[in-house]
């Protein structure tokens, strides 16, 4: 009869759409699910027939909610009036009422009155002469409606009943029950059901499950802290629904597993497929390449992205690219970028790094200029070391007074740092954790070594000054003797 016709198909479509509302609608009071339904003890009938009068009423109701004429409008109010009249009749059989409640539920669902729809389905299920088709449909759609309103306990209860009577449940049913278990934080059962649903779909004609099923399985594995399981699902998502987000998630999980090469490979695959469109994505790839000791490739990634305007000309990216070129021993490229970065930075470090590169390239004048700019700008890390480098540069340029001046400043910085570290280390053990103490002691040892290095440098410069002074004295003596010799020779020639 009408229970398995267009009205049933329409209800299934609406119930499927209702699931989209999960987590969006507030839970409200629903009809209570009984411990058992009247038909459960004697079983369900496969088919029943409507009484003649009820059949005429239901046919008229169906024509109002599903008009066949093209462009006709549903008359839900008119249909409900007919059902209200049928409901008051004393000649309506139990099966007639079951069909009547089914239409009530349909009307309520069309009007988005989900609480009333649930009550209608529960009333339908309380009819002892309900048929198997109506009962199964009522239980399944009730479960969907409960879940749409965040009542996952009742939703799961209805699904369990449905599974009890349904032969060969399809994959969608297992997926729905998996969602109920997931919301109730029963992750083991949720995973079991979702994996079964996925397996059924993969073994079917489609050859793959719905994308959101894999996503739910992924979320369950995440809740279980099961990284291998997450990897397996992400591999399938990439195979069936290739998207950037899945490559990035896979890369992240590989990182969690310390699978560094696999992490880089996954991230590179998204890059090679042209999926990146955010500056941070190119930056992250460059960082991963650098961690894999591939600085040249890291620099090229940023260089190409800048050329394609995929990465802005900002300090963060310019400085990173400069560092990668420097690590690749491409000093010319690194220097060019550091000059840009230095202008954009609020710190002097970029200038001092630039000064070091010029020093390594045997360009002492440029090195001195950059080191002085960095120190003048301030906010420099390892200030004492910078002054010591400046001392060496000035020594090369023969500026011994300036070199010693820079060394004096280095000594002052190191002395201040040593005093601060010693003061910190004098604290009681309770005020200074062991790890912190160990770190301070290591730093103090480094400072003391630099103080010794500075003293050695000072002695070297003093020695160089003496050596050059001796050379100058020798030159002066030689010049004087040559002058005297020329005078004597001139006098002898005149006589």
**pLDDT range class, residue 28, cuts 50, 70, 90:** very low
What is the share, in percent, of the chain residues with pLDDT greater than 70?
93
Query: Looking at residue 20, what is its pLDDT?
Result: 36
Is 50 exceeded by the pLDDT of residue 335? Answer: yes
Of the listed ranges 186-190, 260-264, 344-348, 462-466, the one predicted with least confidence = 462-466
**pLDDT range class, residue 484, cuts 50, 70, 90:** confident
Q: Stretch 267-289: mean pLDDT, rounded?
A: 95
Query: Looking at residue 345, what is its pLDDT?
Result: 86
Beta bridge partners of 45: 131
Is 80 exceeded by the pLDDT of residue 233? Answer: yes
Is 60 exceeded by the pLDDT of residue 70? Answer: yes
pLDDT tens digit sequence for 405-442: 888 898 998 898 899 888 888 877 677 788 888 888 88
Is 90 exceeded by the pLDDT of residue 486? Answer: no
**pLDDT range class, residue 303, cuts 50, 70, 90:** very high
pLDDT tens digit sequence for 172-201: 999 999 999 999 999 999 999 999 999 999
Mean pLDDT over each residue of the chain, to the nearest integer: 88
Query: Looking at residue 30, what is its pLDDT?
Result: 54
Q: Stretch 369-384: mean pLDDT, rounded?
A: 89
Of the listed ranges 128-137, 175-184, 347-356, 426-435, the one predicted with least confidence = 426-435
Query: Looking at residue 22, what is its pLDDT?
Result: 38
Is 60 exceeded by the pLDDT of residue 133? Answer: yes
Query: Looking at residue 17, what is its pLDDT?
Result: 37
Q: Stretch 235-246: mean pLDDT, rounded?
A: 96
pLDDT tens digit sequence for 91-101: 889 999 999 99
Of the listed ranges 31-40, 99-108, 313-322, the one predicted with least confidence = 31-40
Q: Stretch 242-264: mean pLDDT, rounded?
A: 94
**pLDDT range class, residue 63, cuts 50, 70, 90:** very high
Query: Looking at residue 325, what is its pLDDT?
Result: 95
Is 70 exceeded by the pLDDT of residue 400? Answer: yes
Beta bridge partners of 131: 45
Domain 1-167, what fold? 1.25.40
Query: Looking at residue 31, what is its pLDDT?
Result: 60
Is 50 exceeded by the pLDDT of residue 319? Answer: yes
Residue ranges of domains in the chain = 1-167, 401-484
Of the listed ranges 103-117, 250-264, 266-280, 352-366, the one predicted with least confidence = 352-366
Is 80 exceeded by the pLDDT of residue 367? Answer: yes
């Amino acid at each position: 009869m009408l229970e398995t016709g267009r009205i049933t198909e329409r209800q299934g479509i609406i119930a499927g759409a209702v699931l989209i509302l999960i987590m969006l609608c507030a839970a409200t009071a629903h009809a209570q699910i009984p411990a058992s339904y009247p038909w459960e003890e004697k079983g369900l009938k496969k088919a029943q027939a409507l009484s003649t009068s009820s059949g005429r009423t239901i046919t008229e109701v169906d024509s109002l909610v599903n008009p066949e004429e093209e462009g006709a409008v549903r008359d839900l109010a008119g249909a409900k009036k007919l059902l209200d009249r049928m409901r008051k009749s004393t000649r309506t059989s139990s099966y007639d009422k079951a069909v009547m409640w089914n239409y009530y539920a349909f009307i309520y669902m069309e009007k988005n009155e989900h609480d009333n729809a649930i009550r209608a389905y529960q009333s339908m299920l309380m009819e002892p002469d309900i048929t198997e088709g109506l009962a199964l449909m009522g239980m399944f759609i009730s479960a969907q409606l409960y879940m749409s309103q965040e009542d996952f306990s009742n939703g799961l209860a209805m699904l369990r009943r449905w599974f009890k009577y349904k032969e060969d449940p399809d994959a969608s049913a297992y997926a729905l029950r998996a969602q109920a278990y997931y919301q109730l934080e029963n992750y083991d059962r949720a995973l079991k059901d979702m994996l079964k649903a996925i397996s059924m779909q993969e073994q079917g004609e489609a050859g793959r499950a719905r994308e959101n099923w894999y996503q739910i399985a992924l979320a369950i594995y995440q809740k279980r802290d099961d990284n291998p399981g997450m990897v397996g699902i992400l591999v399938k998502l990439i195979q069936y629904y290739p998207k950037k987000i899945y490559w990035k998630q896979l890369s992240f999980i590989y990182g969690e597993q310390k699978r560094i090469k696999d992490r880089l490979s996954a991230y590179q695959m998204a890059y090679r497929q042209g999926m990146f469109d955010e500056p941070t994505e190119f930056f992250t790839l460059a960082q991963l390449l650098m961690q894999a000791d591939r600085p040249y490739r890291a620099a090229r990634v940023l260089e190409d992205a800048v050329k394609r305007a995929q990465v802005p000309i900002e300090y963060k990216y310019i400085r990173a690219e400069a560092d990668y070129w420097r690590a690749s021993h491409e000093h010319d490229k690194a220097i060019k970028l550091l000059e840009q970065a230095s202008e954009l930075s609020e710190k002097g470090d970029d200038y001092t790094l630039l000064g070091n590169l010029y020093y390594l390239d045997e360009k002492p004048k440029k090195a001195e200029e950059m080191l002085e700019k960095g120190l003048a700008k301030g906010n420099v890390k390892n200030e004492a070391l910078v002054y010591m480098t400046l001392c060496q540069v000035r020594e090369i340029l023969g500026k011994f007074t300036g070199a010693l001046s820079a060394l004096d400043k280095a000594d002052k910085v190191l002395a201040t740092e040593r005093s601060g570290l010693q003061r910190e280390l004098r604290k009681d053990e309770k005020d200074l954790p062991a790890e912190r103490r160990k770190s301070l002691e290591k730093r103090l040892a480094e400072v003391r070594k630099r103080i010794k290095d500075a003293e050695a440098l000072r002695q070297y410069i003093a020695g160089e000054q003496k050596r050059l002074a001796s050379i100058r004295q020798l030159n002066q003596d030689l010049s004087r003797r040559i002058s005297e010799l020329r005078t004597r020779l001139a006098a002898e020639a005149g006589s």
